[in-house]
Amino acid sequence: MEKKITKKDLAEMLVEKYGYTKKEANEVVATIFDEIAAKLKKGIDTDLSGFGKFTVKKRAARKGINPATGDKITIKASKVPAFKPAKALKELVK
């Protein structure tokens, strides 16, 4: 079984496959992830055709219990990133 893939691995693939320098490849990979993150921060969905869609989901405020003390607490509303894979990706993984 192969190990997980990292940004560095993606950059190395660009070097091997397209002849980028390591610096260029790292910049390309970083730019892609930075742009996705920046759009999500603004609340803008990012749809990568054939791969999936990154969205921001809102979590409502809710009641919880502090596991250390057992006290009831209120958990603030928050926003979290979410990913929904495209049909093509789901079929590929099956």
CATH of the domain at 84: 4.10.520.10
Range of the domain at 70: 45-94
Hunting for tokens 């979290």 — which residue is that? 80
Residues 17 and 49 in one domain: no
Task: Give 89's pLDDT tier (boundaries 50, 70, 90).
Answer: very high
Nearest Cα neighbor of 90 from 57, 53, 37 is 53
Number of domains present in the structure of the chain: 2
Alpha-carbon distance of 53 to 34, in angstroms, equals 16
34, 48 Cβ separation under 8 angstroms: no
Mean pLDDT of 6-29: 96
Task: Give 48's pLDDT tier (boundaries 50, 70, 90).
Answer: very high
Please state the pTM of the whole predicted model. 0.79
Mean pLDDT of 64-89: 95
Tokens linked to 58: 């809102």
Residues 58 and 68 in one domain: yes
Alpha-carbon distance of 58 to 81, in angstroms, equals 9
* Residue 21 reports pLDDT greater than 70: yes
Residues 83 and 58 in one domain: yes
* Residue 53 CB neighbour total at 10 angstroms: 14
